[in-house]
């Protein structure tokens, strides 16, 4: 069987960042609660001219520059932060990237899980048409109400993945474990720009979904825990990966090396929650910070509240390590402009007025910007950046 999987991947985030120490000092919380208790240092925050389209296109642009557009016939955008009830965000991204008309473009939604559905759909398409390539983009802005328990677990970012036959990074193995359960742990009603969440229930639901997906993987004839070198997890906050790993080791009755928890959390600690992109930001961090994974099996646990989860595995390709990628991600993270708490709160509270034309202020230095709304339609441009 032709190996199919992630050939190349790139991460993008926002113009702004809020340090969680700054937030803790402003709201009278011990900064260690955020740093150690939930395992977060910073959270990305979009400027008014940034959204999932600008981040998603920014993540995908270098992939196209490195690999060309030849063979791309499918563009899948996975997000919880949909911008329109009808139009797929990928259609704007398709135009911004200058992709040809001969592309099928669609948006996938199931909270933070949808990027994994997109990746599996890509693998399915390529099993039939291995000469093609699929561009998968996961992009989200995680927003909770100001002063709520969820506030320090916000964030924003995008991961773009080029999926192909004979991939240079990770081959996705054919067997995976899946799990669906109707649970009201986290959702976002149509009239709300922030999520509704029951924090304690969401943690329990995540851990139950993990064991459910693991049991299904075992029932499908998946690999033993002992043959998985590292596991990366969906990370609403990085402490969640630790809780997950402990639960899985107890449930499956085995040891899992703890090393991957730290390396797989390097980017997530600084991005905050990126919903659909979170698991793949963790995979990027693992590949960028461990040099010895060629030929080894990695596990990926994808969780989307509500809930749908999947435990899949992949084999890391020889020659996957690329120090330039790690350097690029650090530059992107370091380039973010820090916000004071008052500025963050004002930005958070700003909502676009409904039904009128709007021009956004020019803030982002990213290659694409959201310029505003005309005749109720969102407008974008490529900048010189
Ligand atoms: N020093 C060190 N640690 C401290 C501390 C201090 N001074 N003070 C508290 N802590 C620790 C606590 O002991 C606790 O650790 P454990 O979980 O290991 O017991 C941790 O910090 C958090 O403390 P609390 O439980 O008191 O925190 P909280 O009530 O303020 O809320 C939260 C935490 C539930 C994660 C909340 O931020 C939240 O609701 N976040 C959004 C929901 C979420 O992310 N859920 C995750 C699963 S759902 C999912 O994965 C989908 C998704 O992306 C949303």
In the chain, alpha helices (H): 20-27, 31-32, 52-67, 89-97, 114-128, 199-219, 239-252, 259-263, 268-271, 278-289, 323-334, 341-349
Q: Can you list the pairs that 86-94 forms with residues at least 24 positions away whose Cβ atoms lie under 8 Å?
A: 89/52, 89/53, 89/56, 89/139, 90/56, 90/137, 92/53, 92/57, 92/378, 92/380, 93/53, 93/56, 93/57, 93/60, 93/137
Residue 55 to residue 346: CA distance in whole angstroms: 21
Which H helix or E strand runs over 78?
strand 72-78
- The β-bridge partners of 165 are 4
Domain span holding position 371: 4-382
Give residue 376's region: left, alpha or beta (phi > 0; psi -120 to 50).
Answer: left
Name the 3-class secondary structure at 285.
Answer: helix
Residue 3 to residue 17: CA distance in whole angstroms: 39
Of 80, 107, 229, 290, catalytic = 80
Name the 3-class secondary structure at 197.
Answer: strand
**Confidence (pLDDT) at 74:** 98
Q: Has 348 been annotated as catalytic?
A: no
- The pair of three-digit structure tokens given for residue 360, joined into one six-digit string: 């956004």
**Confidence (pLDDT) at 385:** 52
Of 160, 171, 108, nearest in space to 135 by CA: 160
Of 35, 36, 121, nearest in space to 78 by CA: 121
List pocket residues of ligand 1, CB cut-off 6 Å: 30, 32-33, 36-38, 112, 149-150, 152-153, 185-186, 197, 199, 202-203, 206, 234, 236-237, 239-240, 273, 275, 303, 305
Of 7, 16, 94, 234, catalytic = 234
Q: Residue 175 belongs to a domain with what CATH number?
A: 3.40.47.10
Of 349, 383, 343, 350, nearest in space to 367 by CA: 383
Domain total in the chain: 1
**Confidence (pLDDT) at 237:** 98
Which residues of the chain are under the pLDDT cut of 70?
385
**Confidence (pLDDT) at 255:** 83
Q: Has 290 been annotated as catalytic?
A: no
pTM above 0.85, yes or no: yes
Give the position, in ligand 1's atom list, of the atom nearest the Cα of 237.
Answer: 44
Q: Has 234 been annotated as catalytic?
A: yes
Is residue 256 a contact partner of residue 249, using CB atoms and an 8 Å limit? yes
**Confidence (pLDDT) at 256:** 86
**Confidence (pLDDT) at 361:** 97
């Amino acid at each position: 069987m032709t190996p199919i999987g992630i050939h190349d991947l790139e991460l993008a985030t926002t113009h702004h960042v809020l340090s969680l120490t700054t937030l803790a000092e402003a709201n009278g919380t011990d900064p260690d609660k955020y740093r150690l208790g939930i395992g977060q240092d910073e959270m990305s925050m979009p400027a008014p001219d940034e959204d999932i389209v600008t981040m998603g296109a920014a993540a995908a642009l270098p992939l196209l520059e490195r690999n060309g557009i030849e063979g791309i016939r499918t563009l899948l955008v996975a997000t919880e932060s949909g911008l329109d009830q009808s139009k797929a965000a990928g259609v704007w991204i398709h135009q911004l990237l200058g992709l040809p008309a001969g592309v099928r473009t669609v948006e996938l939604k199931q909270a933070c899980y949808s990027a994994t559905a997109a990746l599996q759909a890509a693998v399915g398409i390529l099993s039939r048409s291995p000469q093609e390539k699929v561009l998968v983009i996961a992009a989200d802005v995680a927003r909770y109400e100001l002063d709520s328990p969820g506030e320090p677990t916000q964030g924003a970012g995008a991961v773009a993945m080029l999926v192909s036959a004979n991939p240079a990074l990770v081959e996705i193995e054919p067997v995976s474990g899946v799990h669906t359960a109707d649970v009201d742990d986290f959702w976002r009603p149509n009239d709300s720009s922030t999520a509704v969440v029951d924090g304690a229930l969401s943690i329990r639901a995540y851990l139950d979904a993990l064991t459910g997906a693991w049991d299904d993987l075992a029932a499908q004839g998946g690999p033993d825990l002992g043959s998985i070198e590292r596991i990366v997890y969906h990370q609403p906050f990085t402490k969640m990966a630790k809780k997950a790993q402990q639960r899985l080791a107890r449930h499956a009755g085995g040891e899992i090396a703890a090393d991957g928890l730290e390396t797989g959390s390097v980017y997530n600690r600084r991005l905050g929650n990126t919903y659909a992109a979170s698991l793949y930001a963790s995979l990027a961090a693992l590949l960028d910070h461990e040099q010895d994974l060629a030929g080894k099996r990695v596990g990926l646990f994808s969780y989307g509240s509500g809930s749908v989860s999947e435990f899949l595995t992949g084999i890391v390709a020889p020659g996957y390590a690329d120090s330039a990628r790690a350097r690029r991600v650090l530059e992107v993270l370091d380039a973010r402009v820090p916000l004071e708490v008052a500025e963050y709160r004002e930005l958070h509270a700003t909502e676009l007025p409904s039904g009128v034309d709007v021009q956004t202020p020019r803030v982002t230095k990213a290659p694409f910007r959201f310029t505003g709304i005309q005749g109720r339609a969102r407008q974008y441009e490529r900048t010189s950046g």
